[in-house]
Amino acid sequence: MRIAVDAMGGDFAPREIIEGAVFAQAKLDLDVALVGDRDAIAAYLKQHNYKESDRLTIVPAEGTIDMHEEPLEGLRKKPRSSIAVSMDLVKRKEADAVVCAGHTGAAMAAALLRLGRLPGVDRPAIGALLPTLIPHKPVLLLDVGANVDCRPKFLEQFATMGLLYSQYALGVKEPRLGLLNIGEEACKGNDLAIRVHQALQDNPHVPFAGNAEGRDVISGQFDVIICDGFMGNVLLKFAEGVGQVAMQILKEELPQGWQGKLGTFLLRPNLKKVKERMDADEYGGALLLGVAGVCVIAHGSSKANSIYNAIRVAKDAVDNQVLDRIRGQIKAQTSIPASIPSAVPDIDAPDDPPT
Amino acid sequence: MRIAVDAMGGDFAPREIIEGAVFAQAKLDLDVALVGDRDAIAAYLKQHNYKESDRLTIVPAEGTIDMHEEPLEGLRKKPRSSIAVSMDLVKRKEADAVVCAGHTGAAMAAALLRLGRLPGVDRPAIGALLPTLIPHKPVLLLDVGANVDCRPKFLEQFATMGLLYSQYALGVKEPRLGLLNIGEEACKGNDLAIRVHQALQDNPHVPFAGNAEGRDVISGQFDVIICDGFMGNVLLKFAEGVGQVAMQILKEELPQGWQGKLGTFLLRPNLKKVKERMDADEYGGALLLGVAGVCVIAHGSSKANSIYNAIRVAKDAVDNQVLDRIRGQIKAQTSIPASIPSAVPDIDAPDDPPT
């Protein structure tokens, strides 16, 4: 197995990316292609006594898509950018998966342009792992931004993809699937939610645990929660914001007074634990589901350990043939009755963007 | 001025409700009608040496709508329940506002049944105050659950009502209005968000500060944020869930080890401050906007101080004629161009439920 790692993306590239990749190569016993500026990568490897080999190669690329760049425009201007070259490796079967840090939009666009959608998938989704109250039990929320106006069958496909991913890449034996909604009852929700609820209940292939309310997202009761990309994106960013605000409030209030200063000093290791448990970064970011390749996108702020984790998740997905499972099951599992009219206009799945 | 206080609703009724009302009556120099079980209220007043008077009266009612009861059904079964009688007082102009704790749905239904909508308001909304990073600067989020499928003009009306409420009841001089969305740019969002963004930009009566992303909700940059009731409800419950999870994680991690125990002991007063700042209860719950009466709904878990705060907010709304201002401006300020077709089916505003 060979993983293509975009060595140039992320706040701490290439240093932390290379460190994580080198560690993963040895620890997970796989091949790694470091994609990016040959000179910069080679210099870093030499400086730290890491040796290029058949198992740790450099694949040259030119430039990166900046975090503030519009994805499609960036890709058009930089067809040899590190993310594009990484996807090309998978397309040419010279790599089995892509791991990159940051710019989810660019990764999504590059995956669609270079790899295309899996057959039977109308809309690929972006999944994100959020921490829950239960340590080491994240919840997979999807879609968090790829599709702002959804039809019921899109969400039904998100459910199938999310469940298979949870089961085979994350190792959750019997993942509990929830539909994000405003109440537990089948009659609750907006038009989309009511129709998706009904479709999931009628679908014998999808184990459906019912509606998940806002407070259930991080309770640890669900392993996979589906929603449209508008809701998911707002919720994800809100969660990140809340985490930051909570840490900021602790920082402001705890060290007040001499007792506060002493107490905060004594609690330093425990506060680090608190931060870790509240920190979404621990789970390595977003996943592209529904594109014809395994793509794991670590947070832009990823350090070596997050990159290692992302590579491990990618390896598990490849080992367990998550793509083949999605490919095989997505058609069988989608069964929205044609008789229920949709309030959302009938948008055909977009053609793959021109290559 | 006279405020009708539902003395029987909430987890700590009637004790904490009466305490808060008695305190508010004296402190704010207004009349209070305690609505509920005459014997129970009279007994409590007597026991604590509070005297019934022209300014502190008991208005008898029979029963309450239980938190788990379906609002409309509960109201039909209990037409003399404390929330219904409270609304009747406003309807008969024997009170200027209603304050109750808990069961937002029942309060909304009772207000619609007894008071009706303000002219020009298609859909009343439920607003909630959330704490932000900035102390004592909550954000008003609406709608948080009354309208799950919205048309653009509903949100435009929410904007108008929220701004007037923020300005005249909460005392924010120049409230900043945001539209909940997935990006800052006008082109971002789902169909609804894009259309509302355009309408607000074209509306000369509404000062519009632009799109608010998920992370902006609690940053303190906005005073009023509008969204559809599906999104708002999920977000509100998520926020409550996150607050609880954060406090739970602190509780689990901080006292680990002897240093942790000592540190936590030293930090007790500061941790209380942290809890206060993260706690949505501090702002007294939800508001009904667009019904023909001032209604403030405190959290079900309200203690006397929250009830006092809720009464103070109701008084400010009456003092500053928020209803008249909404009544006067809602028509002038709504100007969605008829030429933009909506993806959401054209749902007429519902008839007021039968009395």
Lowest mean pLDDT among A149-163, A279-293, A296-310, A315-329: A279-293
Q: Considering CB atoms only, which of B213, B230, B242 is closest to A218?
A: B242
Q: A264, B267: Cβ pair inside 8 Å? A: yes
| Model ipTM over 0.90 | no
What value does the mean pLDDT of chain A take? 88
Question: Residue A180's closest chain B neighbor by CA?
Answer: B234
DSSP tag of A53: -
- Confidence at B219, pLDDT banded by 50, 70, 90: very high
pLDDT at A139: 94
Residues of A in contact with B185 (CB under 8 A): none
- Cα separation, B313 vs B307, in Å, equals 10
Q: B345, A343: Cβ pair inside 8 Å? A: yes
Identify which has the larger pLDDT, A341 or B47.
Answer: B47
- Confidence at A277, pLDDT banded by 50, 70, 90: confident
Residues of A in contact with B189 (CB under 8 A): 148, 230
pLDDT at A284: 60
Question: Residue A179's closest chain B neighbor by CA?
Answer: B234
Q: Considering CB atoms only, which of A132, A241, A257 is closest to B219?
A: A241
CB of A247 closer than 8 Å to CB of A276: no
pLDDT digits (tens, 9 = 90+) for B25-35: 999 999 999 99
CB of B183 closer than 8 Å to CB of B189: yes
Distance from CA of A144 to the nearest CA of B (A): 10
pLDDT at B205: 86
pLDDT at B126: 92
Rounded to an integer, the average pLDDT of A249-273 is: 92
> CATH number of the domain at A129-279+325-349, please?
3.40.718.10
- Which 3-state string (H, E, C) describes chain B? CEEEEECCCCCCCCHHHHHHHHHHHHHCCCEEEEEECHHHHHHHHHHCCCCCCCCEEEEECCCCCCCCCCHHHHHHHCCCCHHHHHHHHHHCCCCCEEEEECCHHHHHHHHHHHCCECCCCCCCEEEEEECCCCCCCCEEEECCCCCCCCCHHHHHHHHHHHHHHHHHCCCCCCCCEEEECCCCCCCCCCHHHHHHHHHHHHCCCCCCCCEECHHHCCCCCCCEEECCHHHHHHHHHHHHHHHHHHHHHHHHHCCCHHHHHHHHHHCHHHHHHHHHHHCHHHHCCEEEECECCEEEEECCCCCHHHHHHHHHHHHHHHHCCHHHHHHHHHHHHCCCCCCCCCCCCCCCCCCCCCC
pLDDT at A339: 41
Q: Which of A72, A346, A139, A343 is nearest to B242 (CA)?
A: A139
Rounded to an integer, the average pLDDT of A62-76 is: 89
Q: Considering CB atoms only, which of B215, B235, B269 is closest to A240?
A: B215
Rounded to an integer, the average pLDDT of B312-329 is: 90
Question: Residue B181's closest chain A neighbor by CA?
Answer: A234
Q: A145, B182: Cβ pair inside 8 Å? A: yes
- Confidence at B98, pLDDT banded by 50, 70, 90: very high
Identify which has the larger pLDDT, B22 or A277.
Answer: B22
Q: B254, A267: Cβ pair inside 8 Å? A: yes
- What is each CA distance from A155 to A144, A257, A294, in whole angstroms? 12, 51, 20
Rounded to an integer, the average pLDDT of B119-130 is: 91
pLDDT at A354: 36
Q: B238, A148: Cβ pair inside 8 Å? A: no
CB of A61 closer than 8 Å to CB of A82: yes
Question: Residue B257's closest chain A neighbor by CA?
Answer: A270
pLDDT at A333: 63
Rounded to an integer, the average pLDDT of B37-49 is: 95
Q: A270, B278: Cβ pair inside 8 Å? A: no
Q: B237, A215: Cβ pair inside 8 Å? A: yes
Rounded to an integer, the average pLDDT of B269-295 is: 83
Residues of B in contact with A218 (CB under 8 A): 238, 241-242, 245
Q: B260, A248: Cβ pair inside 8 Å? A: no
Distance from CA of A1 to the nearest CA of B (A): 37
pLDDT digits (tens, 9 = 90+) for B50-64: 999 999 999 999 999
Lowest mean pLDDT among A154-158, A268-272, B334-338: B334-338
Which of the residues A104, A182, A222, A240 would you substitute to probe the B interface, choosing the one with the greatest number of B C-beta atoms within 10 Å? A182
Identify whether B341 is preceded by a cis peptide bond (ω within 30 of 0): no
- What is each CA distance from B97 to B1, B36, B52, B295, in whole angstroms? 9, 16, 20, 6
- Confidence at B240, pLDDT banded by 50, 70, 90: confident
Termini Cα distance of chain A:
27
- Cα separation, A147 vs A142, in Å, equals 10
Distance from CA of A254 to the nearest CA of B (A): 5
Pick the CATH number of B130-282+328-349 from 1.10.260.40, 3.20.20.120, 3.40.718.10, 3.30.390.50: 3.40.718.10
Total H helices, total E strands in chain A:
12, 11
pLDDT at B354: 37
Rounded to an integer, the average pLDDT of B239-257 is: 89
Work out the number of other CB atoms within 10 angstroms of the CB of residue B321: 15
Residues of A in contact with B148 (CB under 8 A): 182, 189-191, 193
Q: Which of B250, B312, B226 is nearest to B28 (CA)?
A: B312
Residues of B in contact with A190 (CB under 8 A): 148-149, 228, 230
Residue A25 has pLDDT above 70, yes or no: yes
Rounded to an integer, the average pLDDT of A22-48 is: 95
pLDDT at A243: 84
Instruction: For residue A285, give every residue at least 6 positions away whose Cβ sits within 8 Å of its Cβ, in sequence order, or none.
Output: A101, A104, A128, A129, A296, A297, A298, A299, A302, A306, A310
CB of A295 closer than 8 Å to CB of A287: yes
Lowest mean pLDDT among A33-37, A74-78, B247-251, B337-341: B337-341
Rounded to an integer, the average pLDDT of A223-250 is: 92
Q: How many residues does chain A have?
A: 355
Residue A352 has pLDDT above 80, yes or no: no
Distance from CA of A334 to the nearest CA of B (A): 24
- Confidence at B345, pLDDT banded by 50, 70, 90: very low
Question: Residue B149's closest chain A neighbor by CA?
Answer: A190
Q: Considering CB atoms only, which of B239, B257, B262 is closest to A242?
A: B239
As given in the structure block, the two tokens for residue A111 are 């995956």
Q: B231, A231: Cβ pair inside 8 Å? A: yes
pLDDT digits (tens, 9 = 90+) for B151-169: 999 999 999 999 999 998 8
pLDDT at A136: 85
Lowest mean pLDDT among A38-52, A234-248, B106-120, B270-284: B270-284
Residues of A in contact with B197 (CB under 8 A): none
CB of A228 closer than 8 Å to CB of A125: no
pLDDT at B88: 96
Q: Considering CB atoms only, which of B190, B242, B250 is closest to A230?
A: B190
pLDDT digits (tens, 9 = 90+) for A40-66: 999 999 999 999 999 999 999 999 998
Single-letter residue type at A169: A
pLDDT at B256: 93
Residues of A in contact with B343 (CB under 8 A): 149, 343-345
pLDDT at A283: 65
Residues of B in contact with A241 (CB under 8 A): 214-219
Q: A248, B181: Cβ pair inside 8 Å? A: no
Give pairs for A246-249: CB < 8 Å, separation 24+: A246/A278, A246/B242, A246/B246, A246/B278, A247/A275, A247/A278, A248/B133, A249/B133, A249/B274, A249/B277, A249/B278
Residue B214 has pLDDT above 90, yes or no: yes
Q: A234, B237: Cβ pair inside 8 Å? A: no
How many A×B Cβ pairs under 8 Å?
A: 195
As given in the structure block, the two tokens for residue B103 are 């069961």
| Neighbour-count burial of B177, counting CB atoms closer than 10 A to its CB (0-12 exposed, 13-18 middle, 19+ buried) | buried
What is the bridge-based pairing of β-strands A177-180 and A224-226? parallel
Residue A68 has pLDDT above 50, yes or no: yes
A180: helix, strand or coil: strand
Distance from CA of A251 to the nearest CA of B (A): 10
Q: Which residues pair with B142 in a beta bridge?
A: B127, B226
- Confidence at A336, pLDDT banded by 50, 70, 90: very low
Helix axis angle for B257-266 and A268-278, nearest 10°, is: 90
Sign for the CA dihedral angle at A175, A181, A183, A184 comes to negative
Rounded to an integer, the average pLDDT of B40-45 is: 95
Which of the residues B238, B250, B344 would you substitute to probe the A interface, choosing the one with the greatest number of A C-beta atoms within 10 Å? B238
Residue A355 has pLDDT above 60, yes or no: no
User: Cα Rg for chain A, rounded, in angstroms?
Assistant: 21
Residues of B in contact with A262 (CB under 8 A): 263, 266
